[in-house]
Amino acid sequence: MGLVLIGLGIFISLFIGHWITRGFHAALYELLFEEKGPKSVKNLTVLIKSIKERLFGEYPETLKIYFPTTFGVPNWLIGHIERIFFTLAVTFYIPGTLVAMTGWITVKMVTFWVAIIGAKTNGNEADETNGNKTKKENYAKTYIALSTCMISMLFAVIGGLLIKWGIDLIKGG
């Protein structure tokens, strides 16, 4: 039973976590930005339907373009690396794991925010010439990224706990 839990933990953390995180990200982005511009998600069933379509269907070309790279590194690879790291941290009960997760999310969001608003490197002022519509889109993109990151970390925690319980079963019987 312990080996089953270990395998299930790895599978949930890496594969299910990637699949659901990517589907949620694509669905939320599509709901907010496709064709009609930013709009609020007023109906949870619309979001769930869109997530299901992104999980089990093809990605539209516009969304395939949206999944970019960060400094030449594919975002899905960064997601896998962070889930592996935090799955292991939870598995081996490393003190401060929650603080590290929070810090990592903060670093990612600050870097994302600086990149998305086009902050100047020679001063403290951000480039505010994009207009209100772009500012609202930037806020929306930031919250999409934050939500997606939190979901990714959730799967790292679930996977890590399952692996820990599997190891405990093997050691303790």
- Please tell me the pTM assigned to this model: 0.77
Residue 24 lies in a domain: no
Residue 63 lies in a domain: no
Domain that holds residue 167: 2-18+69-172
pLDDT tens, 57-100?
665 555 554 555 566 677 788 889 999 999 999 999 999 999 99
Per the structure, the count of domains in the chain is 1
Mean pLDDT of the chain: 78
Residue 61 lies in a domain: no
pLDDT at 1: 86
Contact present, 12 and 162 (Cβ < 8 Å): yes
pLDDT at 152: 94
pLDDT tens, 118-161?
644 444 444 454 445 567 777 778 888 889 999 999 999 999 99
pLDDT tens, 44-58?
666 677 777 767 666
Backbone angles phi, psi at 69, to 5 degrees: -110, 155
Residue 56 lies in a domain: no
Contact present, 152 and 23 (Cβ < 8 Å): no
